[in-house]
Structure 1
Amino acid sequence: MAEWAVYAVVPPSGTHEIYEARFGAVGLDLDLLAGPDVVLPAVRARPRVEGHWRGDGSCEAAALFDLRRRVLLFYATEGPITQFRHRAVTRERIARAWPGWELRWTFDGPADLRRHLGLDPDAVRETHRTVCPAPLLGPDDEELRERDPLVVAVTVGDRRCHLLAAVGDHPVVEGPALLGRLAGGHDHGRCTVAPGAGLHVDPVRRHVDWWTLGAVAEAGRMRARWPGWTVECRQDRWEEHAREAPGRLVPPAVDRERALAELREDALDHWSGRPGSPVSGWLRAAVPDSVADRVVRAVEGW
């Protein structure tokens, strides 16, 4: 994968500018920690893209910077902000780096950027796309031993909990056919790991709640995939899933100080360029060392 990221800038004039970066999806959240004085000049120094948007299938991260309204709209498919343990502290630190800006996560990926610009969101949809079901995990799957497992928690009624690998599509995309597939899968009883997404199905009420720490194409159209059911997107509010399925979704408590310390190390590695530290993404390489050093000093002061 080329890990493309798309950037949109809305200047005070009210028009919009589009840019993109190969491998821009690598560390986009860590890039944003540098704040607008660093990020915006670097983005706007890239060649502008005219008449083309990357679609749901090829855009893995995106950010829109509305200079008129001071709105930062963004999403990513990897990095600390997509991890259960680090999401809150990452968002908090990005917000501190962008004082006076409103931060919004785009749960519908690049389509949400186009909506903000008054453009047709369907222009980035994949036509004739087939559903790719997430594999069911067994009780001894190695993924369940990871600190940041790629797992989706699916609870059914008040008795069952299934764990799926977070590859392919979010289970909500499958519609009611998901229930037939789960019937032959292992019932884990409850989820005690930190998932990156979840789904609760109440067959009696014919009600579905789903959430994600990432983005799902056509997030606002899931009701059409569950005809006769009510479907609610809870965005990233996993706690509401836990309330719907008492005792079934019980992820580990987040140690905020440890999460912040780990984010700090990731950010220092990302921005320092010191020997032995990987330089992720394009933005660090695009800015002068003096600017990167300023970002490093700010991160060291957390």
Structure 2
Amino acid sequence: MGDRAHFVIKRHGSWSLRYSPWAGYDLELELLPGPAAGLAHAERQRADTTFMNEVLCTGAALVDVDEQRLLWFSPCRADPSYRWAALRVLATTWAGWRVEWAYDGLADLVRAVGEDPAGVAAPRSMPVPPGVRTPEELAARMPMLWLDPAVHPPGSPLPASLPTWPDTLRRAAPGEPVCLVTVARAGTVRGYPVSPPVDAVIGHGPASLDTYAAWEPVPAWPDAPTAGIHLDADTRTAGVWTTRDLAQVLPDAPRLWPGWRWELWQDRHTEHLRRCAPAVTFPGPSLRTGLLTLAAAFHEHRHGGPATRGISALLGLTASVMLDERAVLRAIDDLRA
């Protein structure tokens, strides 16, 4: 399937597009050494003229030389601690540049070059192949596609097209990436771990409140969530934060949640905790853990070169001796000097 990536290079008032079928998953590891290495990596990719669909794009980076801006996103291994570590290191190795996360994914890069993000929006339905009449026939033709048997029972006739979004709401289990949803109603706050991507959770609209009400709530979650949503049913206000991307769902929130007001909290899980604790609690990302994971990933990804060995040593050493955030930044500065 590949891990497709786009790289956009802006220079001298114009921009060019590059494509890689494999660079999306570990995109941040190519950016870590700094602007020279990141730009060189982007320029090595295949020239392209058209942005791919956002559902196919695993990661992307805009290197804006004119404004000294790096705008990027990648899966970051679905690990909030790893992502935090990558952002902290990039903020130093790209000193003097604005290092920004693309909270709307590929759409943010498309907007940055003046194009219409609707052109890369993920399709929300797919045609059923000709001659396919039942869920069983579809499973035989497309075994990777899963249909909810509660919606499409075995033997039932399929429509001409099937919705591909939002994913069915499913309660998450400890150890898997989770969007932690908290619901405030009549002075009580309850928490629910949900497994689909955060944009799909939002896509279910206010009807999802009935789904959560049927689940057993959790007062705490043991791992750092990858995203969170706080729903205040009394005031009809909601906030969302994420360490991934929102796939252009928030502009559609007024239609999906009529009468509700939504706020984007970027990756500020602390804002979520402010609304839901102490009734519901969860840990934030760990910079030390993230640096250790990032160091191992960088070493495995890139074998060779003094710059590679240096940044790997930095990450491992910093993580092993880290006392606080300032110690991390001092260690990075010492190595660069």
- Cα distance between partner residues in 1 of 2:22 and 2:45: 14
Is 1:156–2:183 an aligned residue pair? Answer: yes
The one-character-per-residue Cα deviations of 1:178-218 (angstroms, maximum 9, x if unpaired) are 11222222212333321101111111001111111000111
CA deviation after TM superposition for structure 1 residue 271, in Å:
1.4
Q: Could you list the runs of 5+ residues in structure 1 that have no partner in the other structure?
A: 273-288
Question: What amino acid is aligned across from residue 85 of structure 1 in structure 2?
Answer: S
Structure 2 counterpart SS, 1:100: coil
- For 2:234 and 2:197, the matched residues in 1 are separated by 29
For 1:206 and 1:254, locate their aligned partners in 2 and report how far apart those are by CA, in whole Å.
29
Change (3 A) 1:136 1:108: same
Match of 1:113?
A: 109
Q: Name the larger-Rg structure.
A: 2
Aligned to 2:271: 240
Contact 2:240 2:265 in 1 (8 A): yes
Q: 1:195 aligned to 2:208? A: no
Q: Which residue of 2 aligns with 1:99?
A: 95
Q: Distance in 2 between matches of 1:253 and 1:106?
A: 20
Q: Relative contact order (alpha carbons < 8 A, sep ≥ 6): 1 or 2 greater?
A: 1
Correspondence for 2:170: 136
Q: Secondary structure at the match of 1:176?
A: helix
Pair 1:167–1:119, CA change in 2 (3 A): closer
- Write the distance in 2 (CA, Å) between the matches of 1:254 and 1:111: 26
Equivalent residue pairs, number: 273
Cα pair distance change 1:70/1:244, threshold 3 Å: same
Which residue identity is paired with 1:109?
G
The reply on whether 1:10 has 2:6 as its aligned counterpart is no
- In the superposition, relative to structure 1, how do residues 127 and 264 fare at CA in structure 2: closer, same or farther (>3 Å)? closer
What do the CA deviations read for 1:73-93 (whole angstroms, capped 9, x no partner)?
0011233xx522233222110
Letter in 2 for 1:22: P
Question: What does residue range 53-64 of structure 1 map to in structure 2 within 5 Å?
Answer: 53-64=51-62
Partner of residue 230 from structure 1, selected from 250, 261, 271: 261
Q: Does 1:185 align with 2:215?
A: yes
Amino acid at match of 2:31: L
- Please report how far the alpha carbon of residue 225 of structure 1 lies from its aligned counterpart in structure 2 after TM superposition: 1.6
* 2:158 counterpart residue number: none
User: For residues 169 and 236 of structure 1, what CA distance do their matches in structure 2 show?
Assistant: 14
Distance 1:127 1:96 in 2: 38
Given the superposition, is the C-alpha separation of residues 195 and 253 from structure 1 closer, same or farther in structure 2, using an over 3 Å criterion?
A: closer
User: 1:248 Cα shift?
Assistant: 4.1
1:170 to 1:63, Cα distance in 2 relative to 1, 3 A: same
Query: Secondary structure in 2 aligned to 1:69?
Result: coil
Give the match for residue 25 of structure 1: 24
SS in 2 for 1:250: coil
**2 CA distance for matches of 1:255 and 1:7?**
29
**Helix, strand or coil at the partner of 1:29:** helix
Q: TM-score, normalised to structure 1's length?
A: 0.83
Secondary structure (helix, strand or coil) at the match of 2:302 reads helix
Q: Please name the residue that 2:299 is paired with.
A: 268
Q: Aligned equivalents of 2:81 and 2:191: distance in 1?
A: 21
Percent identical among aligned pairs is: 25
Within 1, Cα distance between the matches of 2:170 and 2:124?
A: 25
Determine the C-alpha separation between the residues in 2 that align with 1:262 and 1:203.
Answer: 39
Contact 1:35–1:97 (Cα < 8 Å) also in 2: yes
In the alignment, is the contact (CA less than 8 A) between 2:13 and 2:66 conserved in 1? Answer: yes
1:72 CA displacement: 0.3
Q: Residues of 2 paired with 1:134 and 1:199: CA distance?
A: 17
- After TM superposition, the score normalised by the length of structure 2 is 0.75
Q: CA RMSD in A?
A: 2.0
Question: Which has the higher mean CA deviation after the structures are superposed, 153-162 or 184-193?
Answer: 184-193
What's the CA shift for 1:57?
Answer: 1.1
Structure 2, unmatched stretches of 5+, are: 126-162, 316-337
Distance 1:133 1:168, change over 3 A: farther
Task: Select 2:73's aligned residue among 68, 72, 75.
Answer: 75
